[in-house]
């Protein structure tokens, strides 16, 4: 195989290890971010419930004032009943008193419903606060654990970075730059093998003449479709495992017929 390709494939192997390490770090951080997000959601829920209680308390105070006014109005109308002379006036006042009492009842029922809702919301807030406290303590512990895990992973990464630096020096600057650019724009894959005339980066067939030149193993070319650096290396074929056929069970010999005497 072409020496440049040998060095490139070695470099790509190191890069793949480093990509795996970066993925491990990201996974650790992502898991922590998810739990931080859940904690923030819990805090937001507590805030929303608290705001709802504030609204209900204001509504309750308003209703209490209105009920007090309605009761004063009822007493005033009842006092006036003693002063009226005509039946029409009495009927009108009785209607006012009835409407006022009905209004008082409706507002009192609404006040009771508000108090029940506030009681339920208060219980939910208390439950969420307890969960928030426990989750916060757990997140602190997990954050420390993730920091240690990432620190351990970064040690492995530094070791690979040294290997990469040493390996990159074995390549020409122009070829290294081309490879790095391809990796950045081709999902981390800059150099690929060609199997049966098909680029293993984009899985598109390459021109037969180009493939024939690659088969020599002393040159490399750019894929006409994805522009990755191509090379040829024989792929070992896996022998098909033959499953032995089951033999048919032997038939029992037929019993000889008895001769007639």
Tokens standing for residue 152: 């351990």
Write down all domains in the chain, each with its CATH number in brackets. Answer: 14-168 (1.10.287.1490), 173-231 (no CATH)
| Range from 38-52, 93-107, 227-241 that averages highest in pLDDT | 38-52
Taking only the tens place, the pLDDT of each residue in 89-125 is 888 888 888 888 898 899 999 999 999 999 999 999 9
The band of 80, judged by pLDDT with boundaries at 50, 70 and 90, is: confident
As a whole number, the mean pLDDT across the chain is 86
pTM of the model: 0.63
Task: Please report which confidence band the pLDDT of residue 238 belongs to, taking 50, 70 and 90 as the band edges.
Answer: very low
3-class state of residue 84 by DSSP: coil
**Lowest pLDDT segment from 61-65, 69-73, 221-225, 252-256:** 252-256
Quote the CA–CA distance of 126 and 45 in Å, as a whole number. 11
Contact between residue 228 and residue 189 where contact means Cβ atoms under 8 Å apart: yes
Which residues neighbour 221 within 8 Å (Cβ) at sequence distance 6 or greater?
206, 210, 213, 214, 229, 230
In this prediction, residue 8 carries a pLDDT of 93
**pLDDT(255) > 50:** no
Inter-CA distances, 39 with 26, 51, 117, 132, 150, Å:
20, 19, 25, 7, 22
CA 31 to CA 37: how far, in whole Å?
Answer: 10
Phi, psi of 116 (to 5 degrees): -65, -40
Rounded (10°) CA dihedral 56, 62, 68, 70: -110
What is the share, in percent, of the chain residues with pLDDT greater than 90?
Answer: 66
Say how far apart CA 223 and CA 198 lie, in whole Å: 10
76 closest CA partner among 50, 55, 48, 96: 96
Span 167-220, pLDDT tens digits: 999 999 999 999 999 999 999 999 999 999 999 999 999 999 999 999 887 778
């Amino acid at each position: 195989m072409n020496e440049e390709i040998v060095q490139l494939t070695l470099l790509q192997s190191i890069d793949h290890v480093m990509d795996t390490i970066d993925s491990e770090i990201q996974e650790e951080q992502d898991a922590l971010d998810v739990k931080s997000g859940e904690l923030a959601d819990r805090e937001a829920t507590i805030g929303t419930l608290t705001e709802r209680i504030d609204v209900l308390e204001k509504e309750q105070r308003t209703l209490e004032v209105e009920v007090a006014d309605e009761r004063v109005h009822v007493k005033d109308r009842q006092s006036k009943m003693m002063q009226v002379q005509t039946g029409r006036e009495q009927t009108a006042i009785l209607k006012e008193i009835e409407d006022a009492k009905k209004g008082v009842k409706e507002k009192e029922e609404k006040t009771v419903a508000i108090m029940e809702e506030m009681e339920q919301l208060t219980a939910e807030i208390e439950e969420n606060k307890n969960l928030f406290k426990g989750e916060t303590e757990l997140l602190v512990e997990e954050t420390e654990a993730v920091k240690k895990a990432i620190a351990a992973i970064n040690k492995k990464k530094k070791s690979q970075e040294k290997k990469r630096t040493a390996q990159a020096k074995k390549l020409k600057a122009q070829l290294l730059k081309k490879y790095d650019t391809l990796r950045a724009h081709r999902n981390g894959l800059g150099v690929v093998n060609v199997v049966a005339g098909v680029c293993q980066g984009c899985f598109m067939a390459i021109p037969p003449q180009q493939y024939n030149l690659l088969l020599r193993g002393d040159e490399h070319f750019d894929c006409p479709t994805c522009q990755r650096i191509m090379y040829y290396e024989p792929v070992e074929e896996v022998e098909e495992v033959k499953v032995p056929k089951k033999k048919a069970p032997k038939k029992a010999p037929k019993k000889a017929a008895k001769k007639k005497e």
